[in-house]
Structure 1
Amino acid sequence: MTDADAFDYEELGLVAGLEIHQQLDTETKLFCACPTELREPEESTRRFTRYLHPTRSELGEIDEAALEESQIEREFEYLAYDTTCLVEEDDEPPHRVDEEALATSLEIAQLLDMQVVDQVNVMRKIVVDGSNTTGFQRSMLVANDGRIETSEGPVGIEDMLLEEESCQRVEETDSGVRFSLDRLGIPLVEIGTKPDIRSPEQAKEAAKRIGMLLRSTGQVKRGLGTIRQDVNVSIADGARIEMKGVQSLDDIDDLVRNEVRRQVELVDIADELAERDAAVGEPEDVTDVFEETDSGVIGGALSSGGVVQAVLLEGFDGIVGREIQPDRRLGTEFSDHAKRHGAGGIFHTDELPAYGVTEPEVEALREAVGAEPDDAVAIVADDPETAELAVEAVAERAETAMDGVPEETRDANEDGTSRYLRPLPGAARMYPETDVPPVEPDPTTVETPELLTEKVERYTEEFGLGEGVAEQVAYGRRWELFEEGVETGVDPNLAARTVESDVTELRRDDVPVENLTDDHFRGVFDLLADDEVAKEGVPDLLTALAENPELSAAEAAEQEDLGSAGEDEVREAVVEVVERNADQVEEEGMGAFSGLMGECMGALRGQADGDLVSEVLREEIQKRA
């Protein structure tokens, strides 16, 4: 296995590009007035099913990816809610493009230094995996020809599309897939870079830069699943691979490294297979070989009326089991293709005997298909139709292994590797949407937002925040509330702590901070500005509001008795603590301060400012020392 760290990416001819998919935080969906909030599947009020099939493009062509998807017969079930409308069910034509979503996309175009098109036309993109009730996704080109800067040079931005988000996959069912309609139609921008990226590190840096620019608008959704990165990778002797669904920016560099490694290995494998004059035989039934097998997988399939299909892989001995990515082998690639047709996987002779398959069975299998010592054999055990389709898919993938790296779409795994998903889509899946009129955008109607990096710098200079705190607030979700709090007269560091670190600490303590609203924070700031609540009482106040969200900040403060104590009340409480600990004060003097300070704050229950308590306590100790 080649060490990816030893690669010279320039010598290999690495070319990479990104596609960033970001949900917009709009009030309503892209083509209807339904809300963009996600729901729990248990909240669904009804459900319906669909079967989807590909259609031909205007040129009479059928997209290869859509055709392969349609060969897998599946029923798609959709969960509908009390907010679901006829547009989402594809029982009513789409409405006009949402103006808020279009305006946000124009802001993003400005941040990416892009040229906005004169007219936005809606297109249909064929998608028959069930993720759209229509069988297609509506998409429109908004801008093109932009650029961003990275430490390794500029990266061009090819285009930006405004699209409708797909349905949310809930689970696999016995007959197909269950989807939720709550996510369908949420506005989404797709930003595609030019193939200017030349290293894994630059890919990660470019993705982070684009992510920062998107968040700078303050109009994008946050959280898991709201932004996805697709990464396109190729090397000079390889082929273009699209890796879908990268959730974490921190995974991008590893995905690029591992894909380069995979392509290098596949090129080497193709060269070795050519030297061996490799070939792929025709699939054949070898059920008889395993009639008495002790293999649980194979025996289980046969007892259910299944069969065992095999394919001879001439010259593949030792190669099917070769590792091409961490913990993934060429045989794993074959298995991915078999699984696409419903099989649980494959066995091959590079890994047998194992899994209950004995050495005599392996010998009988090799004899049944006429395998020579340099050959390998792959088998699939399943019901007759699935086994036949799966073993044919294995044979086709083995054929492409002799040519090198096949172009395909792959699914990003959490460990930085990827697996086969489907063929690369082509232009045949795009055609015009006739139900939505074109729009002529006006970029002059939107203002360029302040970048988050600029916001961090302003917070440090204008408000005196430390760089770490400034970055936490600027990149957080409540920076606008922070600025409102400062405007009411709250100390900037206290305002920052309230909207960020206090909330984080309460969440760790299992306080339901998701119940806190903007009005709750505004109320807390008003109380702080008017000295009606001490800063030490803020965590208790936020806890009370989170647990009783129907209360206002003032009502919660009164309920928890968090009113700010005056100097007389503070002194009275401090004197009581000092007198209760008179012996300790007489013996230790100011050495008793630390322990008594905590006792005083506890006695005042967050009602007093710590600086005032500290000052009064020092005075009372000095009187008695």
Structure 2
Amino acid sequence: MTDHDYDELGLVAGLEIHQQLDTDTKLFCSCPTDLREADASTRQFTRYLHPTKSELGEIDEAALEESQVEREFTYLGYDTTCLVEEDDEPPHRLDQEARTVVLEIAQLLDMEPVDVAHVMRKLVVDGSNTSGFQRSTLVATDGEIQTDEGPVRVADLMLEEESAQRIEETEAGVTYSLDRLGIPLVEIGTKPDISSPEQARDAAERIGMLLRSTGHVKRGLGTIRQDVNISIADGARVEVKGVQSLDDIDDIVRNEVGRQVALLDIAAELEERGASVGEVQDVTGVFEDTDSGVVRGALEDGGAVYAVPLYGFDGLVGREIQPDRRLGTELSDHAKRHGAGGIFHTDELPAYGVTEAEVEAMCEAVGAGEEDAVAMVAAEAGVAEPAVEAAAARAETAMDGVPEETRGANEDGTTRYLRPLPGAARMYPETDVPPVELDPSEVAVPELLTEKVERYQDEYDLDAGLAEQVAYGTHMPLFESVVADGVDATLAAGTLESTLTELRRDDVPVADLTDEHLRDALRLVDDGEVPNEGLPELLTALAVNPELTAEEAVEQEDLGGVDESEVREAVVEVVERNADQVAEQGMGAFSALMGECMGALRGKADGDVVSDTLREEIQKRA
């Protein structure tokens, strides 16, 4: 991966962090915020969405392009799905718990809350919201975080409703699950103060730590998403959506800078060549007898082949602009938006069963010469022509340099075209939800995770590594709760961060353990009703049978502790059974017999008690 002089290129970047809040109910209704599998849905319904004009009489460009691809949206409902989620009832008032958490976040970001929060509608017609818009509320402005390369200002903090979860996409449309729709979501937008890939990652990590410090944000894949706005001096602002992992942010920035540099080089070369884009033409006749499986399949289904000459583009359509992505890939991204599988172009042909003779005939048909390129699409009727027209439009912008657009993050750190950048025409006031006065004085500033690590070491005598694991782990709120109730901190920390990890590695379904399971199991051990050694077996029983209470699992597995006389009886039996080994090895037999004793007691006795008793019995016979 090529690294650039980012100062010289004039790199500026900003972040938009989207984090789901862990509240009991959704933002505008009382439905739960838990997610379920799609096969648990109990009903479904369909919708078609179209853009509307804002109060200024304008239609947002991104929404307009989205609507040009007609699709049916199917929504999966559940036994808790309500009329608000289906957009058949007005939204309720802004959730109080979400308001409290977002004000905590505002204080951690050193932001100034607004006096009154007004709910706005943000036009979205990709089907991810049943209403055709997302409700969003400005909560605070003018904050700042610190990074190793200097401060990064935070422009705004928004409280929003999460979109529906995309389950499946086909040529006909998209299926969404309503479980996720309406979960409270905060959006944190920074100023464009970031000047390097490393600073982008540092800033995202800092914001993530502050969010987790509240103890009220959801954890796991998909609960936090990072969007990155990136531009260089001679390029354009590009918004990269959906960066799932912090580890990808610096690669995304590097690759986008490299893409813009490459596009500027291509634009300069196209200008030097006097390049232009010709007219889209039907070239189906060229491929009547083709052996290309893709082309023949389209024609046999009643489709067509359309092509466009790209004058002066020879060798540039196939030029790499990101790792394993070329200018032709950009053209293909636009064609795919209209239902095509992609494009073929002459920088890569003959290939895919398309012969040299067919390439020559196609070039002749559209009037392309040796210095030119041709892009073609073979697809069903009604798809091929608009798909090639979209590719041609993208080729036009290639002559100008870098287009402003919204792009999606790929798993390999590259990006793909999604849609134009949205404009101000997509926002207008929400008339169904009254404004809310905000009072930050009622909200305490949460303790930072970094401060928790230090406190856990000082107050609970945890070592640095375990203290950090607990503070940054998903069970941090539960740890604090059980310790406050009197459970030994070392027991709680070791169980939540070590024992659960070991059980997970042994394929125990620990994800099915509830906080109540864990809390009650820890209490039973801390009270001496279950020995430490019996805790893994108790948690396993609860994970396999989550309908049980901890007390029921203890009885079912016979995990209740034994008294000292029963311990000694079991130890004496093991020692006498191995009398020859004890006589020969003395205390050297301890390790082997200890395991046998623990097995005989089946985790019902504390290991220290068993160890002390075994030592005594061996010494008697040594």
TM range (shorter): over 0.9
One of 348, 353, 356 as aligned partner of 1:351: 348
Distance 2:547 2:62 in 1: 51
Q: Write out aligned runs for 1:220-299 (5 A).
A: 220-299=217-296
Shifted more, 579-588 versus 343-352: the winner is 579-588
Match of 2:322 in 1: 325
Distance 1:366 1:604 in 2: 84
One of 607, 611, 617 as aligned partner of 2:608: 611
Matched letter for residue 17 of structure 2: I
Match of 2:65 in 1: 68
Shifted more, 478-487 versus 156-165: the winner is 478-487
Q: Write out aligned runs for 1:53-452 (5 A).
A: 53-452=50-449
How far off its partner does 1:618 sit? 2.0
Matched letter for residue 400 of structure 1: T
Distance 2:552 2:124 in 1: 52
Match of 1:464 in 2: 461
User: SS at the partner of 1:217?
Assistant: coil
CA contact (8 A) 1:70 1:128 kept: yes
CA contact (8 A) 1:282 1:311 kept: yes
How far off its partner does 1:565 sit? 2.5
Q: Tell me: CA distance 1:485–1:39, structure 2 relative to 1, closer, same or farther (3 Å).
A: closer
Match of 2:19 in 1: 22
Shifted more, 157-166 versus 215-224: the winner is 215-224
Distance 1:348 1:517 in 2: 55
One of 35, 52, 66 as aligned partner of 2:49: 52
Shifted more, 299-308 versus 574-583: the winner is 574-583
Distance 1:231 1:102 in 2: 26
Match of 2:2 in 1: 4
User: SS at the partner of 2:504?
Assistant: helix
Distance 2:551 2:54 in 1: 62
Q: Tell me: CA distance 1:500–1:176, structure 2 relative to 1, closer, same or farther (3 Å).
A: same
What percentage of residue pairs aligned between the two structures are identical? Answer: 76
Match of 1:481 in 2: 478
Count of residue pairs the alignment pairs up: 622
CA contact (8 A) 2:215 2:477 kept: no
Shifted more, 208-217 versus 550-559: the winner is 550-559
Matched letter for residue 312 of structure 1: P
How far off its partner does 1:368 sit? 1.5
Shifted more, 521-530 versus 241-250: the winner is 521-530
User: SS at the partner of 1:500?
Assistant: helix
User: SS at the partner of 2:558?
Assistant: coil
Matched letter for residue 92 of structure 2: H
Distance 1:175 1:375 in 2: 36
How far off its partner does 1:602 sit? 0.9
User: SS at the partner of 1:379?
Assistant: strand
Deviations 1:89-144 (A, max 9, x none): 11111111111111111110001000000111111111011111111111110001
User: SS at the partner of 1:162?
Assistant: strand
* Residue 566 of structure 2 is aligned to residue 569 of structure 1: yes
Extract unaligned runs of 5+ from structure 2. none
CA contact (8 A) 1:488 1:529 kept: no
CA contact (8 A) 2:397 2:403 kept: yes
TM-score by length of 1: 0.97
Shifted more, 529-538 versus 60-69: the winner is 529-538
User: SS at the partner of 1:192?
Assistant: strand
Distance 1:600 1:97 in 2: 60
Matched letter for residue 61 of structure 1: E
Deviations 1:246-283 (A, max 9, x none): 11111111111111111111111111111111111111
CA contact (8 A) 1:261 1:324 kept: yes
CA contact (8 A) 2:171 2:339 kept: no
Q: What root-mean-square deviation, in Å, do the aligned CA atoms of Structure 1 and Structure 2 show?
A: 1.4
CA contact (8 A) 1:488 1:525 kept: no
Q: Tell me: CA distance 1:483–1:118, structure 2 relative to 1, closer, same or farther (3 Å).
A: closer
Deviations 1:378-412 (A, max 9, x none): 10111232111111111110011111110000010
How far off its partner does 1:558 sit? 2.5
Q: Tell me: CA distance 1:193–1:387, structure 2 relative to 1, closer, same or farther (3 Å).
A: same
User: SS at the partner of 1:4?
Assistant: coil
Match of 1:497 in 2: 494
Q: Tell me: CA distance 1:344–1:72, structure 2 relative to 1, closer, same or farther (3 Å).
A: same
Shifted more, 112-121 versus 31-40: the winner is 31-40
User: SS at the partner of 2:567?
Assistant: helix
Matched letter for residue 12 of structure 2: V
Deviations 1:48-87 (A, max 9, x none): 1111111111221111100100100111111122212111
How far off its partner does 1:464 sit? 1.3
User: SS at the partner of 1:355?
Assistant: coil
Shifted more, 210-219 versus 420-429: the winner is 210-219
User: SS at the partner of 1:87?
Assistant: coil
User: SS at the partner of 2:195?
Assistant: coil
TM-score by length of 2: 0.98
CA contact (8 A) 1:110 1:448 kept: yes
Extract unaligned runs of 5+ from structure 1. none
Matched letter for residue 333 of structure 1: E
CA contact (8 A) 1:348 1:376 kept: yes
